[in-house]
């Protein structure tokens, strides 16, 4: 029987009586002379028949159910089966036979794979008529023409684009760059999140809120986008600067590293020259003007960062960031945090737990503590129980208690052969994931009241008061008034090594 792909849309169908009824006797006879299957289908059916015959020989009973070939299933059922398979397996499936290859041209199969594997939820047929946010309009729809003041649509007509092309030429091809990345920008670093946004892959640079508003949400701006301008070709565009998308390039060097390059860096320049570029960058980076910054040292730090970062022109190398695993017993959920670093503004730190120690690693950095360096290490084995709130207000008393615990740690490390830094100050050594706290008999009587509860397990549900000592002020008055625990930590100050608190 003739192939009726036009009727069912997915290939041959043997039981298509509707088409037979509409044809005359001559057409029916001519159609019956055409083969139903191609050689591959006949080979598969012959193999299935042989297996069925062999099985029937073994169970010679008349009640044995007939063996059914996959090719005999209705096309709509095959579409459902193929749509549940991983997209990477579909090209091999298309090589089985002509019928499978025809079915795999069904767009609903690839739409399901785009949705389940990459989260694509938009409908290609309705993309142009749905309401979108201003961010999507800028990042995905239009190209601002600065001179004319108009907006010109530059994206292709989605009416003739297929999900198969979106999957194979865009999503699957660039799947290795999805996720969190850290750019190699000297000591400054950064945080890039590459996501599938509709039918685009967009690289968003995440920026901390303006200092000192640490509780405000993160800011973000697009650095590049990838989409299909033609059916079989993905286009990479640089989004850096204020003159709209322009030609860019992405090179995936290895599994956890890729680089971006802008091919039209003149789009990054502004008509007012470097002075206008600096003032624009300052408003975006700090939310203020240079006249608002009175501290001379802070002005120097800001100017140095602008000069250093602007020379890259969005031609950067990125390395993947792996978020630390979490555990139900963690004092606080590990991950990315933002915090103030004085004159350097707000920065991003990754908190992770390593046995009885917690570590903070900088994702963004500064010349004093560069990105990628460990900025703090906390020994969770020693919980400091302060006698009263007044001990917090008196800086001398607070220092005495902390130093008392630090001395106890130093003595225990000497007994265990633990490491010390070059200045003789104790630093936590490498700890196994299940290291136990020091034995109780290691303590001497009269070690101080602050050490009495130093080895008690951390009770995350109990809060302790947190008060700034007299003479210490916070630029952000909205700081926490309670904490879960007081502990002993080491901090990195200007690459001079890990130091205990004063």
In tens, the pLDDT along 337-384 reads 988 876 778 899 999 998 888 999 999 998 888 999 998 888 888 777
Dihedral, CA atoms, 428, 433, 437, 439, nearest 10 degrees?
A: -110
Cα–Cα distance between 426 and 171 in angstroms, integer? 50
Mean pLDDT of 263-292: 86
Quickly count helices (H) and strands (E) in the chain.
14, 18
Closest CA to 368 of 337, 341, 407, 396: 341
Question: Contact at 8 Å (CB) between 17 and 81?
Answer: no
What is the pLDDT at residue 19?
A: 44
Backbone angles phi, psi at 185, to 5 degrees: -120, 60
Question: Contact at 8 Å (CB) between 55 and 67?
Answer: yes
Place of tokens 């099985």: 55
Question: Contact at 8 Å (CB) between 102 and 10?
Answer: yes
**Cα 230–Cα 234–Cα 238 angle in degrees, nearest 5:** 120
- Phi-psi label, residue 64: left if phi above 0, alpha if psi -120 to 50, beta otherwise: beta
C-beta atoms surrounding 422 within 10 Å: 7
Q: What is the DSSP letter of 437?
A: P
- Tell me the CA distances in angstroms from 179 to 207, 228, 318, one per residue in order: 16, 20, 11
Residue 20 binned pLDDT confidence (cut-offs 50, 70, 90): very low
Q: At what angle do helices 107-118 and 75-83 cross, to 10 degrees?
A: 20
Ranking 121-135, 182-196, 271-285, 430-444 by mean pLDDT, the lowest is: 430-444
Cα–Cα distance between 205 and 252 in angstroms, integer? 18
Looking at the predicted structure, is the pLDDT value of residue 472 above 50? yes
Residue 484 binned pLDDT confidence (cut-offs 50, 70, 90): confident
Q: Which two tokens stand for residue 405?
A: 């615990």
What is the pLDDT at residue 156?
A: 52
Cα–Cα distance between 451 and 443 in angstroms, integer? 9
- Tell me the CA distances in angstroms from 201 to 120, 245, 391, 398, one per residue in order: 11, 14, 54, 52
Instruction: Tell me the residue length of the chain.
Output: 502
What is the pLDDT at residue 198?
A: 80
Strand partners, 364: 189
What is the pLDDT at residue 73?
A: 84
Residue 465 binned pLDDT confidence (cut-offs 50, 70, 90): confident
Q: Which two tokens stand for residue 102?
A: 């025809």
Ranking 21-35, 38-52, 432-446 by mean pLDDT, the lowest is: 432-446
Mean pLDDT of 44-70: 55
Residue 462 binned pLDDT confidence (cut-offs 50, 70, 90): low
Question: Contact at 8 Å (CB) between 243 and 146?
Answer: yes
Question: Contact at 8 Å (CB) between 500 and 490?
Answer: yes
Domains of the chain, by residue range, sit at: 1-36, 39-56+69-119, 134-274+313-317, 373-499
Closest CA to 222 of 320, 128, 138: 138
Looking at the predicted structure, is the pLDDT value of residue 450 above 50? no
What is the pLDDT at residue 322?
A: 94
Cα–Cα distance between 351 and 325 in angstroms, integer? 10
Looking at the predicted structure, is the pLDDT value of residue 259 above 90? yes
Question: Contact at 8 Å (CB) between 375 and 361?
Answer: yes
What is the pLDDT at residue 357?
A: 86
Question: Contact at 8 Å (CB) between 203 and 192?
Answer: yes
Q: What's this model's pTM, rounded to 2 decimal places? A: 0.70
Select 39-56+69-119's CATH number: 1.20.1280, 3.30.70, 1.10.1760, 3.30.2010: 1.20.1280
Closest CA to 466 of 400, 401, 386: 386
Q: Out of 120-134, 247-261, 296-310, give the one with best mean pLDDT.
A: 247-261
What is the pLDDT at residue 158?
A: 57
Cα–Cα distance between 401 and 405 in angstroms, integer? 6
In tens, the pLDDT along 204-254 reads 999 998 887 888 899 988 999 998 877 678 889 999 888 888 899 999 988
Choose between 298 and 224: higher pLDDT.
Answer: 224
Long-range CB contact pairs, 399-408, < 8 A, 24+: 399/501, 399/502, 401/448, 401/450, 402/488, 402/500, 402/501, 403/500, 404/447, 404/448, 404/450, 404/451, 405/450, 405/451, 405/454, 405/488, 406/488, 406/500, 408/382, 408/443, 408/447, 408/451, 408/454
Q: Side-chain half-sphere of 369: how many Cα atoms within 13 Å?
A: 22
Looking at the predicted structure, is the pLDDT value of residue 446 above 60? no
Looking at the predicted structure, is the pLDDT value of residue 150 above 70? no
């Amino acid at each position: 029987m003739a192939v009726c792909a036009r009727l069912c849309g997915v290939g041959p169908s043997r039981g298509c009586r509707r088409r037979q009824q509409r044809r005359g006797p001559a057409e029916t006879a001519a159609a019956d002379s055409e083969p139903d299957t191609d050689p591959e289908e006949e080979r598969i059916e012959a193999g299935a028949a042989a297996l069925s015959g062999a099985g029937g020989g073994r169970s010679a009973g008349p009640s044995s159910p007939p063996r059914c070939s996959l090719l005999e299933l209705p096309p709509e059922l095959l579409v459902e089966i193929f749509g549940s398979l991983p997209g990477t397996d579909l090209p091999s499936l298309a090589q089985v036979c002509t019928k499978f290859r025809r079915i795999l041209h069904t767009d609903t199969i690839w739409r399901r794979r785009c949705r389940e594997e990459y989260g694509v939820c938009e409908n290609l047929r309705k993309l142009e008529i749905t309401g979108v946010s201003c961010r999507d309009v800028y990042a995905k729809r239009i190209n601002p023409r600065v001179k004319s003041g108009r907006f010109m649509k530059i994206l292709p007509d989605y009416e003739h684009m297929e999900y198969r092309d979106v999957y194979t030429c865009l999503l699957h091809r660039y799947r290795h760059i999805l996720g969190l990345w850290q750019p190699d920008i000297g000591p400054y670093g950064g945080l890039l999140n590459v996501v599938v946004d509709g039918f685009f892959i967009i690289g968003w640079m995440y920026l901390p809120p303006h200092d000192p508003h640490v509780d405000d949400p993160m800011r973000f701006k697009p650095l590049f986008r990838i989409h299909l301008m033609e059916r079989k070709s993905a286009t990479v565009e640089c989004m850096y600067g204020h003159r709209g998308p322009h030609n860019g390039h992405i090179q995936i060097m290895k599994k956890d590293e890729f680089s971006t390059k802008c091919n039209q860096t003149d789009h990054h320049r502004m008509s007012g020259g470097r002075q206008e570029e600096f003032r624009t960058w300052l408003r975006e980076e700090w939310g203020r003007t240079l006249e608002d910054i009175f501290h001379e040292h802070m002005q120097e730090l800001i100017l140095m960062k602008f000069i250093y970062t602007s020379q890259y022109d969005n031609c950067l190398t990125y390395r993947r960031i792996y978020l630390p695993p979490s555990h139900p017993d963690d004092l606080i959920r590990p991950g990315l945090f933002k915090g103030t670093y004085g004159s350097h503004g707000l920065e991003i730190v990754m908190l992770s737990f390593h046995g009885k120690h917690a570590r903070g690693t900088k994702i963004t950095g500064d010349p004093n503590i560069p990105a990628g360096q460990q900025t703090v290490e906390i020994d969770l084995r020693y919980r400091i129980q302060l006698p009263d709130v007044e001990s917090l207000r008196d800086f001398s008393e607070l220092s005495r208690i902390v130093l008392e615990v630090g001395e106890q740690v130093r003595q225990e490390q000497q007994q265990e052969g633990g490491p010390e830094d070059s200045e003789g100050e104790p630093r936590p050594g490498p700890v196994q994931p299940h290291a136990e706290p020091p034995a109780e008999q290691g303590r001497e009587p009269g070690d101080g009241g602050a050490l009495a509860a130093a080895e008690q397990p951390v009770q995350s549900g109990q809060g302790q008061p947190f008060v700034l000592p007299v003479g210490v002020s916070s630029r952000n008055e909205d700081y926490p008034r309670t904490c879960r625990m007081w502990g002993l930590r080491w901090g990195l100050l200007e690459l001079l090594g890990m130091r205990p608190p004063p």
